[in-house]
């Protein structure tokens, strides 16, 4: 039976000799949790791992779009949509979108994620032409002006192509190459890094009654299979970011199960991205029905992910997340300041 290897991520300054760096980053581990379907987890020393598994868990990830992974990176969200769940309609106006993008960049965004289609449950379909009309003019203005790379949040190859031509550097496909058959070839030929995200069902129906045998392991297997598909399309694994898709066909319990053991996804050998910001489960558990009131819960989840070595945190609230993360990193820094 397959055993899944979850590194138990630590940031404590008392790092034992022989502990391994987690993905070459700011966490270390000297134990792993072995997970098997239908069996109790077992904790074993990292020293007992086969060399190949230890290497994949500990090797530094390649820089993508100029970003290295020695610290968590923040991806700021710009939704140029009338109906996004968290900020729907606020940034549909080009001037407002531009101002929001500049605000996120000034507040410390390492990367900006621009999307012209909402993927919230029940969202309306948008034509390619409309999506391009929403995002391309914004990218054309921002790309030369910003220090941070831009990612395009789209499931459609034509939108991705237009965004790359306008200056975007990263693809973010919430369908993980399943929506548009042309996306794999585009990602391969363009050489752009791509984020592949797990979702169960499509946006219209995904929250109706999501079910898993074991959500953590099912999502892991899905991402492993999508990585194989990406590699077959000519996209090297080192150019892929993987994302468990918080809230995409998941109950609050599913989201929690994923976040609690999020370090498992380092076993895929890729940069890991988590987007939990302002999502519904934060409102449910945090008593915040309004999306804009979910900032503290969103920050808490982002810090929890960073403490398990997650390299990219996709957030709406840049000022608050940047401050919290700076303090978390300062307090837990592996090296003491001299």
Query: Could you say which of 57, 142, 219, 273 contacts ligand HH2 (CB under 6 A)?
Result: 273
- 248, 252, 258, 260 alpha-carbon torsion, rounded to 10°: 150
Q: For residue 249, how many other CB atoms are within 10 A of its CB?
A: 23
Q: Of 279, 280, 294, 322, which one is the catalytic site residue?
A: 279
User: Could you tell me if 98 and 56 are in contact, meaning their C-beta atoms sit under 8 angstroms apart?
Assistant: no
11 binds ligand HH2 (CB under 6 A): no
What is the rounded CA–CA span in Å between residue 251 and residue 221? Answer: 19
Residue whose CB is less far from ligand HH2, 186 or 272: 272
Tell me which stretch binds ligand HH2 (CB under 6 A): 4-12, 58-66, 136-144, 238-246. 238-246
Tell me which stretch binds ligand HH2 (CB under 6 A): 59-67, 75-83, 94-102, 185-193. 75-83
What is the rounded CA–CA span in Å between residue 102 and residue 145? Answer: 9
115 binds ligand HH2 (CB under 6 A): yes
Residues 6 or more apart whose CB falls under 8 angstroms from that of 191 comprise: 239
E strand or H helix at 266, and its extent?
A: none
Closest residue (Cβ) to ligand HH2?
275
Here the tokens at position 37 are 């379907």
Here the tokens at position 204 are 């219209």
Tell me phi and psi for residue 45, to 5 degrees: -65, 140
Tell me phi and psi for residue 20, to 5 degrees: -100, 145
Query: Could you say which of 154, 172, 255, 321 contacts ligand HH2 (CB under 6 A)?
Result: 172
Beta strands 73-79 and 111-115, pairing class: parallel
Burial of 126 (0-12, 13-18, 19+ CB in 10 A): buried
> What is the 8-class DSSP label of residue 123?
P
246 binds ligand HH2 (CB under 6 A): yes
305 binds ligand HH2 (CB under 6 A): no
Nearest approach, Cβ of 140 to ligand HH2 (angstroms)?
21
Residue whose CB is less far from ligand HH2, 206 or 324: 206
- The number of residues making up the chain comes to 338
What is the rounded CA–CA span in Å between residue 19 and residue 31? Answer: 8
For residues 27 to 66, the per-residue mask of contacts with ligand HH2, x marking binding by CB under 6 A and - elsewhere, is: ----------------------------------------
Query: Could you say which of 32, 77, 146, 307 contacts ligand HH2 (CB under 6 A)?
Result: 77
Nearest approach, Cβ of 152 to ligand HH2 (angstroms)?
11
List the beta bridge partners of residue 21. 28
Nearest approach, Cβ of 116 to ligand HH2 (angstroms)?
9
Nearest approach, Cβ of 189 to ligand HH2 (angstroms)?
22
Tell me which stretch binds ligand HH2 (CB under 6 A): 20-28, 78-86, 126-134, 298-306. 78-86
314 is an active site residue: yes
What is the rounded CA–CA span in Å between residue 45 and residue 105? Answer: 41
Tell me which stretch binds ligand HH2 (CB under 6 A): 62-70, 116-124, 131-139, 299-307. 116-124
Residues 6 or more apart whose CB falls under 8 angstroms from that of 254 comprise: 210, 212, 215
Residue whose CB is less far from ligand HH2, 55 or 260: 260
Query: Could you say which of 58, 79, 100, 175 contacts ligand HH2 (CB under 6 A)?
Result: 79
Residue whose CB is less far from ligand HH2, 77 or 168: 77
For the chain, give the longest Cα–Cα distance. Answer: 57
Q: Which residues bind ligand HH2 (CB under 6 A)?
A: 77, 79, 81, 84-86, 115, 118-120, 153, 172, 174, 195, 197, 243, 245-246, 273, 275, 314
Catalytic residues: 279, 314
């Amino acid at each position: 039976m397959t055993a899944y290897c979850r590194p138990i991520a630590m940031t404590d300054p008392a790092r034992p000799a022989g502990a391994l760096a987690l993905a070459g980053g700011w966490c270390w581990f000297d134990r792993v949790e072995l997970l098997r379907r239908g069996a109790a987890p077992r904790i074993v020393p990292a020293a007992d791992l086969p060399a190949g598994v230890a290497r994949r868990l500990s090797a530094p990830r390649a820089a993508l779009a100029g970003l290295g992974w020695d610290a968590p990176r923040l991806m700021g969200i710009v939704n140029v949509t009338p109906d996004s769940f968290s900020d729907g309609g606020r940034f549909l106006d080009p001037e407002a979108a531009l101002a929001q993008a500049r605000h996120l960049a000034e507040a410390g965004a390492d990367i900006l994620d621009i999307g012209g289609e909402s993927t919230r449950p029940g969202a309306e379909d948008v034509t390619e032409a409309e999506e391009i009309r929403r995002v391309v003019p914004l990218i054309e203005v921002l790309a030369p002006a910003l220090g941070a790379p831009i990612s395009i949040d789209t499931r459609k190859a034509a939108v991705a192509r237009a965004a790359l031509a306008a200056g975007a550097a990263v693809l973010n496909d919430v369908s993980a190459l399943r929506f548009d058959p042309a996306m794999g070839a585009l990602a391969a030929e363009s050489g752009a890094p791509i984020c592949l995200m797990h979702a169960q069902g499509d946006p219209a129906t995904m929250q109706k009654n999501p079910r898993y045998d074991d959500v953590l392991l099912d999502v892991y297997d899905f991402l492993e299979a999508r990585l194989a598909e990406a590699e077959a399309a000519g996209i090297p694994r080192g150019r892929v970011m993987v994302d468990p898709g918080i809230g995409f066909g998941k109950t609050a319990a599913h989201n929690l199960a994923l976040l609690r053991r999020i370090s498992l996804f380092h076993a895929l050998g890729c940069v890991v991205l988590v987007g939990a910001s302002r999502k519904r489960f934060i409102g449910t558990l945090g008593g915040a029905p309004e999306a804009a009131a979910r900032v503290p819960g969103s920050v808490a989840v982002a810090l929890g992910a960073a403490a398990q070595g997650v390299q990219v945190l996709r957030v709406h609230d840049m000022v608050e997340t940047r401050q919290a993360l700076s303090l978390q990193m300062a307090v837990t820094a592996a090296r003491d300041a001299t």
